[in-house]
Structure 1
Amino acid sequence: MRVHAVGISRSDRDVYLGRRPVPYVRYPVTPGHEWSGTVTAVGEGAPASLIGRKVVGEGLRTCGTCAPCRDGETTLCTRGYAETGFTLPGAMAPTLLLPARLLHTLAPDADLTAAAFLEPAACAAAAVLKASPLPGSRVAVIGSGALGLLAAQLLCAFSPSELTVVGTSPDRADVSRRLGATAYRTWDRASGLADFDVVIDAAGGTSSAHTATSLLRPGGRLVLTGIPVQGAERLDPAQVVARQLSIGTAFGASSGAWSYAVSAFSAGRLTPLELLTHQLDIDEFGRAMELTDSGDPRVGRVLLRP
């Protein structure tokens, strides 16, 4: 593929700073797992019809033959962890080589800049599908980063009666509402929230999972996604059992979650360009990392152009 654009996430920052857990990175590595591009050549056995197609691609290099893969749970592949941009060369380069079976083709008129957000959208889709919200549900998302806001937009398709996003900065209120939230609260104003049917924790903070359980009604469902920070506050099993809470997790995105996210994007139900604030050339990689690590609420998603 000729790479059109590549996004930068917290995981890329952790790779750059040497903070990613050892099993999930292998140095030296070319980073870049959020990308879009165009197929320029195919190898033996891959259909020639792919040449010229706009595409995105799954990052996890799964075997496709073990029991979890055959059940559709490709993120649980028993072959072990291997992922583009972390243990294998990524997209922060002019070209990227990927197994054809991991590609998802896009419409000829698809916006490749927006499509570069489909990897985090697929991860958000995995969390939303695990949450299984019903129409009319009261739903909350903890986290106003890309993962949380993309989850919020996908949740809109389930017609919730209320969709509240809880974030760290009041500056994220407008974009949250544009992406479908009916309300936005900062942490210091979240104490009165309660009785939600579904909560997705997309923040992975030190206390976000524990806080999420307090937002749920008895019998509610919590989904944890992303990699929690070290030292995160533990959940109280007695509270979970007594209130009969259901807890699910989502790490990465299965092939099914990818298909769901790509379909939502193609149907116009995902508009991820709302999250984009900076586009830089690849030789500005250092500045891109500084922006991503700045903590400035005005900095949304940063894209590099290889």
Structure 2
Amino acid sequence: MSGRAVVIDRPGALRVGRAERVEPGPAEALIQVAYSGICGSDRELFTGGRPDGLVRYPVIPGHEWSGTVLAAGSEVDPSYVDRRVVGEGFRGCGVCDACRRGENNLCGDGYDETGFTRPGGWADQLVLPARLLHLLPADADLRAAAVLEPSACAAEACLRLGAATGERVAVVGGGSLGLLATQLLSCSGPAELVVVEPKSSRAELAVECGATSVITPRDALQRVGRFDAVLEAADGAGAADLATRLARRGGRVALTGVPSADDSVSSAHLVTSQITVHTVFGAPSRAWTHAVRMFSCGRLDPGLIVSHEFPLNEAATALSALRNPHSDVVKVLLKP
């Protein structure tokens, strides 16, 4: 079967054209893509800002997607056909020490991920190993489900943070990842769930996602040492340092952003305050399972953060919308 696909041949060179005919191998499934998301790492693909080793040009982007199984290989359960699905991006080998520990996002066989080193979901169709699929309810909202990949990344940070009922919790960053994390953290029953976000336009959405209050980074400096658990999802300079400052002595912090190389966190502060710091790179399988379960039972609604949709042939326009720092863009979807 064939269709259209967005291809980035090299940094700055994007085109929409016919995709090569794809058929699933014995252990693979062919998916009709319903929606595909765009995030900052896709923008890096286009600009050339993706770190060495984490991209292979030319590439069809799209690590965030949802769809329906069109066909299944001979080794795949035939009941998968016609099921609504999402799929993990990391192509872990499954046999190295990291994969056997459940850290398939850190596979010892090297980095390999859908949408970066393998064809992704900015296309009409996508082939994926069936072992990476997560089945959704028959009536699942595929528009919302397309945001389950960043939800899984947020879920991994939340699982590592381990926020307990009654704790004071802060989320640094009111973008896509921060808002999804806010939804997940609100399910733990925190006494306080504060989102730190400079854009006042995000406040209403953050409250809808479960925040008890929204404050600016400047105001956050008045609450240093207040929180039991802090999740950083801002990716900007100083965000990680602010997150560690907000944590109380003996508190916990989860960092998800990848700031510039010259960004810094005070190791003296971490030691003297005995702060536990967790870092998150993508989403291993356990985080996907958690996010999909929360979505399937109605506790997580990723669709809340979708602000813009574009047809597949307007992918360049969609990327431009994401680049505008003054826009009201939160999560952008492409709809093949």
TM-score range, shorter chain: over 0.9
1:204 to 235, 258, 270: 235
1:19 aligns with 2:49: yes
Checking the alignment, whether the CA contact within 8 Å between 1:281 and 1:304 is kept in structure 2 is: yes
* Residue type at the aligned position of 2:75: G
1:227 aligns with 2:258: yes
1:226 CA drift (Å) = 3.2
> Secondary structure at the residue paired with 1:192?
helix
1:204 CA drift (Å) = 1.8
1:275 aligns with 2:327: no
Q: TM-score, normalised by structure 2?
A: 0.89
1:186 aligns with 2:216: yes
Q: TM-score, normalised by structure 1?
A: 0.98
1:250 aligns with 2:280: yes
Distance in 2, Cα, partners of 1:85 & 1:6: 11
1:296 CA drift (Å) = 2.6
- In structure 1, what is the equivalent of residue 96 of structure 2? 66
Distance in 1, Cα, partners of 2:327 & 2:285: 32
Checking the alignment, whether the CA contact within 8 Å between 2:98 and 2:106 is kept in structure 1 is: yes
Checking the alignment, whether the CA contact within 8 Å between 2:63 and 2:149 is kept in structure 1 is: yes
1:92 to 109, 122, 145: 122
Q: Which runs of 4+ in 1 moved over 4 A?
A: none
> Secondary structure at the residue paired with 1:219?
strand
1:273 CA drift (Å) = 1.5
Deviations along 1:63-92, one digit per CA (max 9) or x if unpaired, are 111122122121121111000000110111
> Secondary structure at the residue paired with 2:214?
strand
Unaligned runs of 5+ in 2: 1-30
Task: Give the share of equivalent positions with the same residue, in percent.
Answer: 49
1:115 CA drift (Å) = 0.2
> Secondary structure at the residue paired with 1:198?
strand
Distance in 1, Cα, partners of 2:184 & 2:327: 22
1:190 CA drift (Å) = 1.8
Checking the alignment, whether the CA contact within 8 Å between 1:276 and 1:302 is kept in structure 2 is: yes
Distance in 1, Cα, partners of 2:160 & 2:199: 27
* Residue type at the aligned position of 2:282: G
Distance in 2, Cα, partners of 1:105 & 1:266: 10
1:4 to 24, 34, 51: 34
Checking the alignment, whether the CA contact within 8 Å between 2:321 and 2:327 is kept in structure 1 is: no
Checking the alignment, whether the CA contact within 8 Å between 1:226 and 1:252 is kept in structure 2 is: no
1:217 to 248, 258, 265: 248
* Residue type at the aligned position of 1:265: F
Deviations along 1:225-279, one digit per CA (max 9) or x if unpaired, are 13223422x1121111111110111110010000000000001111111111111
* Residue type at the aligned position of 2:229: V
1:44 CA drift (Å) = 2.2
- In structure 2, what is the equivalent of residue 292 of structure 1? 322
Checking the alignment, whether the CA contact within 8 Å between 2:183 and 2:210 is kept in structure 1 is: yes
1:153 aligns with 2:178: no
1:56 to 72, 77, 86: 86
> Secondary structure at the residue paired with 2:127?
coil
Distance in 1, Cα, partners of 2:122 & 2:260: 26
Checking the alignment, whether the CA contact within 8 Å between 1:3 and 1:38 is kept in structure 2 is: yes
* Residue type at the aligned position of 2:279: T
2:133 to 103, 113, 126: 103
Distance in 2, Cα, partners of 1:228 & 1:268: 33
Distance in 1, Cα, partners of 2:326 & 2:313: 22
> Secondary structure at the residue paired with 1:211?
helix
Deviations along 1:195-240, one digit per CA (max 9) or x if unpaired, are 10001111121101111111111000011113223422x1121111
* Residue type at the aligned position of 2:178: G
Distance in 2, Cα, partners of 1:239 & 1:145: 27
Q: CA RMSD in A?
A: 0.9
Checking the alignment, whether the CA contact within 8 Å between 1:5 and 1:112 is kept in structure 2 is: yes
Distance in 2, Cα, partners of 1:77 & 1:226: 20
> Secondary structure at the residue paired with 2:137?
coil
1:126 aligns with 2:169: no
Distance in 2, Cα, partners of 1:286 & 1:294: 13
Equivalent pairs, count = 305
